[in-house]
Chains A and B, each alone.
Chain A
Amino acid sequence: MQEKYDAIVIGAGLSGLAAGIRLAMFGKKVCILEKHSIPGGLNSFYQRKGIQFDVGLHALTNFARRGEKGLPLTKILKQLRISYDELDLKEQFFSQVAFPDLSLSFTNDLEFLVDEINKNFPEETESFLKLVEKVKTFDAFSLDQGFVSTREILPQYIKDPLLQEMILAPTLAYGSAWENDVDFSQFVILFRSIFLEGLSKPMGGIRKVLGLLEKRFNENGGILKYKSSVQQIIQNKGEVEAVILKNGNILKSNTIISSAGFPETMGMVQEDKAPKAMPDIGSFSFTESIAVLNKKPKDLGQKAATIFYSSLPKYKYENPKSYYGTETAILSFPNNFEEDPMEEGMARVTFLANYDLWKRLDRPSYKKKKEEVFESSLKLFESFCPKIKDHLILKDVFTPTTIEKFTNHKRGTIYGSPQKQKRGTTPIKGLILCGTDQGFLGIIGSLLSGISMANLHGFSTNQGASV
Chain B
Amino acid sequence: MENTQVREAVMNIIADIALDEDVTQIKDDLALRDQLDLDSMDFLDIVMELKKRHKIEVPQEDYPKLATMESCVDYLGPKFH
**Residues in chain A within 8 A of chain B (CB atoms):** 26-27, 66-67, 69-70, 74-75, 77-79, 81-85, 455, 459
* B45 contacts A by Cβ under 8 Å: yes
Q: How many residues of B contact A (CB 8 A)?
A: 13
Bound CA–CA A79/B43 (angstroms): 11
Known A26-B48, A26-B52, A27-B52; contact A81-B19, beta-carbon cutoff 8 A: yes
Bound complex: CA of A75 vs CA of B38, how far in Å? 9
Inter-chain contact A66/B52, CB cutoff 8 Å? no
Asked if residues A77 and B48 are in contact (CB atoms below 8 Å), the reply is: no
Task: Provide the residues of chain B in CB contact with A78, threshold 8 Å.
Answer: 17-19, 37, 41-42, 45
**What CA separation (Å) do A78 and B19 show in the bound complex?**
7
When the two chains form their complex, are residues A79 and B41 in contact, meaning their CB atoms are under 8 A apart? yes
Q: Which residues of A contact B39 (CB under 8 A)?
A: 70, 75
Known: A74-B37, A75-B39, A455-B41. A67 touches B52 (CB 8 A): no
* B20 and A77 contacting across the interface, CB-CB below 8 Å: yes
User: Is B8 an interface residue, CB under 8 A from the partner?
Assistant: no
15 contacts between A and B (CB under 8 A): A27-B52, A69-B37, A70-B37, A74-B20, A75-B39, A77-B19, A78-B19, A78-B42, A79-B41, A81-B17, A81-B19, A83-B19, A83-B20, A84-B19, A459-B48
**Closest-CB distance, A276 to chain B (whole angstroms):** 38
B28 CB-CB contact with A under 8 Å: no
A residues near B41, Cβ cutoff 8 Å: 75, 78-79, 455
Contacts of B48 in A (CB 8 A): 26, 459
Q: B27-63 vs A: 1/0 string, CB under 8 Å?
A: 0000000000101011011001000100000000000
Q: What are the residues of chain B within 8 A of A459 when measuring CB–CB? A: 48
Nearest B residue to A84 via CB reads B20
Please tell me if the beta carbons of B20 and A66 are within 8 angstroms of each other in the complex: yes
Shortest CB distance B48–A (Å) = 5
State whether B16 touches A67 (Cβ < 8 A). no
A120–B28 CA distance with the chains assembled, in angstroms: 52
Having A70-B39, A81-B17, A85-B20, one finds 15 other A-B pairs with CB under 8 Å, namely A74-B20, A74-B37, A75-B41, A77-B19, A78-B17, A78-B19, A78-B42, A79-B41, A81-B19, A82-B19, A83-B20, A84-B20, A455-B41, A455-B44, A459-B48
Chain B residues positioned under 8 Å from A81 (CB to CB) = 16-17, 19
Those 4 A-B pairs whose CB atoms lie nearest each other, nearest first: A69-B37, A83-B19, A84-B20, A26-B48
